[in-house]
Amino acid sequence: MSHADLSMVELFRIEVENQAAEIIKGLLELERDALSPKQLQSLMRSSHSIKGAARLVNLPNAVVLAHAMEDCFSAAQKGFKLKRPHFDLLLKGADHLARIALLDENKIAAWIADNTQTYSELAGSIRSSMTVQEDEPPASGHPPEKDAPPHEPHLPTAEVEVVEEKALRINAELLDRLIGLAAEFLVESRRLAPFVHTLLRIVRRQNELTGRLEGMERRLRESGTGEHDLELLRVARQVSADNAAGIATQWRLLEGFERRSNQLSRQLYKEATTSRMRPFAEGVASFPRMVRDIASELGKSARLDIVGQNTLVDRDILEMLQAPLNHLLRNAIDHGIESPDERMTADKSAEGVIRLEARHQAGMLFVAVEDDGRGIDPDVLRRAAVKRSLASEEVASGLSITELYDFLFLPGFTLKDNVTEISGRGVGLDVVMDTLQQIRGSVRTHSEIGRGTHFQLQLPLTLSVMRGLVTQIAGEAYVFPLARVERALILEAHEISSLQGHDFFYFNGKPVGIVAATQVLELPDTEELGDRHNVVVISDRDRRFGITVDCFVGESNLVVRPLDPGLGKLRDIAAETLLEDGTPALILDVEDLTRSIDRLIGRNRLRHGKLGHAAASVKLGKRILVVDDSFTVREVERKLLENKGYRVEVAVDGMDGWNASRAGGFDLVITDVDMPRMNGIELVAKIKKDVALKSMPVVIMSYKDREEDRLRGLDAGADYYLTKGNFNDEALLEVVTSLIGEA
């Protein structure tokens, strides 16, 4: 539907949405330079446009409010000095106008009528806030509203632009289907290449045949063979030459068609994917206002500088970034930016600066959030980890800075002792990590005490196309998402060591275990590769592994195609794709792969990668499954129980725990509550409803220590409910022993 087909009220909604956003943006910039002629003129124009558009659709309350704001900007142009209270009122007015854009067309008039008093009071407050100094003209340079002409001298700016651009509205699902078809066309066009190459080989073979026939004819003539035989050979040579010429002609036609087809398919796909790209500024337009308001609420002064506003970002990624960036910015204000007095004492400006940047680099999208605040003290982070029983003092003291930063992204972890409306519940950075994992992204953290903190998000440019490392495993094509591959390398036999039956090598100075991809994916073993081993180094937020594959095929941009929903979630598999030659391939789920390796380690069934036969499984004690999304908690519980002779397997969230439980063979499950994908309460309920599993004891260990939380866990079917806040080794061992006995 084009904008020419829209009703006047719908056009007003579009107009007020655009202009109110411009007013908010302009006010935030004007607050830094209250006498900027350019900003004042822009604000005048936006409020005037809203006033004129509101009059055309007969919304007098909106007219009154927009007119009051216009008068205020006019007074500022004539020398009236805007101060903080004026900006607060004007921003509030812009908020009320912006809400109109969120309403259905048939509800706008009624909603504004219901809020007549609010609009009138706000307009009155804006007018009364303008004190007229002696010998100055009135704040409003416009005639009274009643004297205004019945029609504004110009149409709303946005409406004119829309008509010129012939903008259309299109259903998002339809656009996604079009992009999917363009992607399939791109893949299909590449399947012509093998035919072109095959036809070229045939041309060469045919020319070779013609040459051989000419040689035979020459030798027969020299040997005095009869004329009849020579004639037959000449005919055969001519037929061969004609065939070669015909095939060469068809090859040239097919080669030209293949080249044009590739060009068109690439151009079509580029244009289709560009249609779903949006400027970064569209997704972060509300953040400068949020930073200002939260800083004001906390008694601080802070501004947000946005770099790379025109950087194009996939629509879906931009939408999913809203929550992570919101949490990172709120954390920067609350935890990072100091009070004005603290900053002045530290020789900083009273106003803190937060920098939000988006850029493209090496085929990836990088988004950075950086503040110039107090930074993160590693010692404070260590003490917080110990206090929350996430690590012992001995373990915490040996952790590197990078490992300490990982605690920030654990569920429930916070550096604040008291909860406020802004932070303190420990859910912010956990949301950041969960979202990044969903969109195949990662985050790196860097901080300097007294100088600030820097978070860098690395994301794919689009969710519909992925750059991947194509490999061969057991004779089939498998793809590792390149964003999750740390290195692909070929190791010589002497570079691989073995300890307690398991292979490892040193990567960046640290030992990394090697696992055969065929074992993790439960595929038939392939032939030994001799003294050279192809290894893909992958990692999640906790661990790093090297996975051996048959061979590397290469890097490629691949169209991500979701698996058939009827298949459910396949372990270790994220999606499917087609390679450039049309060969189907499976895209591996790196998170699942690391969980599968964890399970093999927990069962003590991990064998040599490519260096020998499977290590003999060692029969230990009774089997316990530990389900927790905190790596530290899992390791603490694992070591504690293994020291008592139990066989321990780990799962990193509720869904992983449920899949492991269904594999059977466990004597006990110990689970956390707050976890992604499936929480602990849901896991307990599923186990207790399963006929084959309901007799297996389940223990809940959670930070939630309220009575209602305990009762909720027990009602779901848990046999015991322990709190991590009061956790001690003996308490857990007593519960385990009482439920399943000693190992």
Beta bridge partners of 481: 468
Q: Confirm whether 278-460 and 467-602 share one CATH topology.
A: no
Q: Which CATH superfamily is domain 3-165 in?
A: HPT domain (1.20.120.160)
Judged by average pLDDT, the poorest of 119-123, 503-507, 537-541 is: 537-541
User: Is the pLDDT confidence value at 500 over 70?
Assistant: no
Tell me the mean pLDDT in the region 256-284: 80
CB neighbour list of residue 560: distance below 8 Å, 6 or more residues apart = 463, 464, 465, 466, 575, 577, 587
Whose CA is closest to 280, among 223, 319, 245? 319
pLDDT for residue 613 = 38
pTM (two decimals):
0.54
Q: Residue 358 pairs with which residues in a beta bridge?
A: 367
| pLDDT higher at 179 or 159 | 179
- 459-494 per-position pLDDT tens digit: 887 777 777 899 999 889 999 988 778 889 988 877
Q: Which fold has domain 623-740?
A: Rossmann fold (3.40.50)
Taking alpha carbons only, the member of 473, 458, 460, 444 closest to residue 593 is 473
Superfamily of domain 278-460: Histidine kinase-like ATPase, C-terminal domain (3.30.565.10)
Both tokens of 569, joined, read 């979630």
Q: Given CATH 2.40.50.180, say whether it is the number of domain 467-602.
A: yes
Lowest mean pLDDT among 130-139, 610-619, 625-634: 610-619
pLDDT per residue as tens digits for the range 556-594: 877 787 777 777 667 888 888 878 666 889 999 887 788
Q: Is the pLDDT of residue 161 over 60?
A: no
Tell me: the pLDDT tens digits for 399-457? 888 878 888 877 667 776 554 555 544 445 777 887 887 777 888 899 999 999 999 99
Which 3 state secondary structure label does DSSP give 460?
strand
Distances (CA, A) of 737 to 11, 401, 603, 717, 733: 70, 37, 20, 19, 6
**Does 529 have pLDDT greater than 70?**
no
Residue with tokens 């009703």: 7
Domain boundaries of the chain, sorted by first residue: 3-165, 174-274, 278-460, 467-602, 623-740
- C-alpha 643/C-alpha 656 separation (Å) is 24
Q: How far apart are CA 685 and CA 682, in angstroms?
A: 5
Q: Which 8-state DSSP code applies to residue 463?
A: S
